[in-house]
Structure 1
Amino acid sequence: MSTPDELGAPAPAAVRAELSRVLALQADRVRSMPLSQLDRAREGATAPRAELVRRAAQALADLAADAEGRPRCELPRLALHGVGDQLAVTGADVLAHGDDAALAAALDVVLELRRGL
């Protein structure tokens, strides 16, 4: 399990490992979803699953841009079969360049996506 730091929050290395783990799981989950399912909203939701993935990818891209000190830019709108890869790539950018706060925020984004799918 995670090793808490002095304030009881997960240690930065644990956050990085958990983000890497859940990001890979969610990207694979999205990649394996039938396109018809990606194009529909989950029962009780207002947006299609693919849109939730796109929003999460954009949030991750913004975190990576902030971490790298570059301007934020809008991600291209990929076809349904590409949104899982877009999520994986933007998440990898945060893992590569994000500080502890960015990693924690990215983990929140991916966990929220998991709940929405």
Structure 2
Amino acid sequence: MNDPTPHETDPELGALEPQRAELRRSLGLQADRVRGLPLSRLERSVEGAPSPADAVRAAAQALADLAADAEGEPRRELPRVGTHGLGDQLAVVGADVARFGGAAALAAAQEVLVAVRRAL
């Protein structure tokens, strides 16, 4: 039997469903964008600035930290996946924030995704 989602057991979290849906939409757009870029573009660094791949890795870690905080779990360092897997990693950790995060975590996650969009 499946465990109920947090908003099924906590009405306050259910009130955040529009924000959750918007985060899932934004997350899907950015993850698809990362998946669709050539690896050479993701790995390219300009004038000593972090590469887009590095920015996505940092964003995925930030989302993982938000999810861990929302779930009451310790923060853990994400494994370093190959550049080709960054879109999937972003999608997975972002889905955890969308599922478990409160209002502040959802807003912070949206800001992380804005940074990803700018980095790409």
Taking structure 2 as the reference length, what is the TM-score of the superposition? Answer: 0.82
User: Does the 8 Å CA contact 2:66/2:105 hold for their aligned counterparts?
Assistant: yes
Aligned equivalent of 1:106: 109
- Could you give the per-residue CA deviations for residues 56-109 of structure 1, whole angstroms, max 9, x where no partner exists? 000000000000001000000000100110000000010111111110110111
User: Does the 8 Å CA contact 2:60/2:94 hold for their aligned counterparts?
Assistant: yes
Show the 5 A alignment for 1:6-21. 12-21=16-25
Aligned equivalent of 1:52: 55
Taking structure 1 as the reference length, what is the TM-score of the superposition? Answer: 0.84
The 1-side partners of 2:59 and 2:92 are apart by 12
- Could you give the per-residue CA deviations for residues 23-74 of structure 1, whole angstroms, max 9, x where no partner exists? 1000000001111111113x56701111000000000000000000010000
User: Does the 8 Å CA contact 1:15/1:107 hold for their aligned counterparts?
Assistant: no
Name the structure with the higher helix share. 2
Whether 1:88 and 2:91 are equivalent positions in the alignment is yes
User: Does the 8 Å CA contact 1:58/1:75 hold for their aligned counterparts?
Assistant: yes
Q: Unaligned stretches of 5+ in structure 1?
A: 1-10
**Identical-residue share of aligned pairs (%):** 61
- Please give the root-mean-square deviation of Cα atoms over the aligned residues, in Å: 1.6
Selected match of 2:39 from 25, 35, 41: 35
Aligned equivalent of 2:12: none
Instruction: Give the number of equivalent residue pairs.
Output: 106
Secondary structure at 1:75 match in 2:
coil
- Structure 1's consecutive aligned runs of 4 or more residues displaced over 6 angstroms after TM superposition are none
